[in-house]
Structure 1
């Protein structure tokens, strides 16, 4: 049975399958949980735990990259056993536990260990979840499904910082460190609700794939390998979100004001991800990915030279649009290229390549920040994205 038939026969809501809708709800809740803590993490590292710029930048990069080695492995395992839901549940459960436990950290090592556990959870769930989305989508509409999922994920990211701001306002009389710890603890609540949704309502689709695994033939395609090289280059220009908040702090804005900028970024992301997914199905995913690298370069240049509020707001808006394209369209592109029996493996390969190059990206950005200034960190990113754009032009149309 092809994924078009599955999507057609399954109950739909908002023009997408019920399964994709439920996975969107799960991501909304989980990202609300994650983004309740994300805006305070940079300040927690530097102000509470007292870590320096290079270590803080490297830790943030390590956190982003930590899950990469697990993504292709668990994508392959979920292909082998034709079970997606179990890996999705385990991955989200580990992340929920790790986020709540941050309330008890006392050193950068404790912090990194728990954030690593969170990222391992992400590594376990990501490829099986994306494969499940692909298997639950109508043929030719993978961009729409992934766009909806990224939109829901990012609406959670909009809600998370706002909830955190509300909590911090309520706890205004407490020492900053104690308030941060309460936010960490409360972030586990939406994560626990998302686990119930997975357990009770999400349905597996992997068992409907009848073919045996006969090899990862798609990965031998030279054009796919070229695209993965583009992904690697683009990832070198993908600095952690923490650098954007450090830029706002450098310009004199408080942590709470930084949360407002971060909410703006996520709002732009949420509003654009779904239409980007739909238009990528119509206009071509290669064109949309290429445009994304151009937007990324513009966002980096705006952050590099931001000296006033208007430029900084524009930078966060461009950053939101860039991440919406980069987090949506390549997943759908890889899902379209993958054969039914290896969707988890192929999508996992994309995530792994991307994740492996995100770590050096933030380490380089941290080094440039420490040695020169944040301006050079963003200029490096702009250069990498422009190189990725040029290389993307060499990838043949599909």
Structure 2
């Protein structure tokens, strides 16, 4: 990135625009995401184990494509093409949910939405890294995650308003209108990518040969830690099911979810910026520790205040673990492989997120949600300890 390029809120124009796009896309996604758990269990009548598996599958499948399309964006040096197509794919899939009539159609479209995420994520993260000032990747990724998550705050609030306006309609009909309306902010984001975001890959001369960071023992060890931590990364749906178990309504659950995302949004940018000086490795380890505390809080929550504390800790944990590892991988990667390396991180994470939700669903059905969260706390505690063996 040219040093004389004008900054917007402390980041480059590209990072700022990609932040706006993520805000709009996440607003679109989070307008419908909080109602999906109830839709699966109450309207479609799917069991707890299957519901947990579906939520995990949806989250996991998107990651399987990230290393592939990260590699393609490295090879062609055209990040923007994959970013635009990925966002468009997801937006169409979300809007089309309004027209399905079976749980299989519903799940298929949700998977296609996540495939779109798989197409865009690694190229977009590589573009953010390439558009960042040297040594400031944490700041750039922190800004991006902040904007992304502000969209996740706006989404549930918009959903609450829409469902309130449509409360006279049957619940299933109201959900269909919500699915259709969710496509609007996503389409605006696609237009911004196409018209305003600029590719940076062409400015970097691709090396003919180089030593890949994937050959580093340190990076491979870090990916092992990522895998273990991912086993403790239950779907957000479990936190909403916990609120439901304690007697809170769907709308109240949306309020808790908005609080979680607000904490995430407010902390991602400062934590990302601070990690550039504090050390990304130490910040990631701290995130696993907070994750363990959040999981224990969910496990033993019996009242409103403990549940609030759990959502706050959950927000801090996700703010760290969804931000700093991306910047850490971008710092480790050579210029010719940033998309591939960042994609490898997302793919490893995604592969292990799926069994995490399956295990959590099985523990919930056969024992209780408490055991699901205790298992997550254990996995995150192990990941925190193992981070001590990863070099800075």
Q: What TM-score do the two structures reach when normalised by structure 2?
A: 0.99
- Indicate yes or no: 2:102 matched with 1:102: no
Equivalent in the alignment of 2:68 = 73
Equivalent in the alignment of 1:319 = 314
1:11 CA drift (Å): 2.4
Distance of aligned partners of 1:19 and 1:97 in 2 relative to their CA distance in 1, 3 Å threshold:
same
| d(CA) in 2 for partners of 1:201, 1:8 | 20
- Does the aligned pair in 2 maintain the 1:84–1:206 contact within 8 Å? yes
| d(CA) in 1 for partners of 2:357, 2:226 | 16
Q: 1:289 aligns with which of 284, 288, 304?
A: 284
Equivalent in the alignment of 1:259 = 254
Equivalent in the alignment of 2:331 = 336
Q: 1:89 aligns with which of 81, 84, 91?
A: 84
| d(CA) in 1 for partners of 2:4, 2:238 | 45
Q: Which structure 1 residue ranges, 4+ long, deviate > 3 Å from structure 2?
A: none
| d(CA) in 2 for partners of 1:87, 1:7 | 23
Match runs of 1:1-398 below 5 Å: 6-212=1-207, 214=209, 217-397=212-392
1:8 CA drift (Å): 1.4
- Does the aligned pair in 1 maintain the 2:212–2:337 contact within 8 Å? no
Q: What TM-score do the two structures reach when normalised by structure 1?
A: 0.97
- Does the aligned pair in 2 maintain the 1:216–1:342 contact within 8 Å? no
| d(CA) in 1 for partners of 2:264, 2:29 | 16
Distance of aligned partners of 1:7 and 1:164 in 2 relative to their CA distance in 1, 3 Å threshold:
farther
1:67 CA drift (Å): 1.1
| d(CA) in 2 for partners of 1:346, 1:334 | 7
1:69 CA drift (Å): 1.5
- Does the aligned pair in 1 maintain the 2:100–2:106 contact within 8 Å? yes
| d(CA) in 2 for partners of 1:181, 1:338 | 43
Which has the higher mean CA deviation after the structures are superposed, 202-211 or 155-164? 202-211
Unaligned runs of 5+ in 1: 1-5
- Does the aligned pair in 1 maintain the 2:58–2:111 contact within 8 Å? yes
1:197 CA drift (Å): 0.5
Equivalent in the alignment of 1:3 = none
Query: How many residues are matched?
Result: 392
| d(CA) in 1 for partners of 2:384, 2:375 | 14
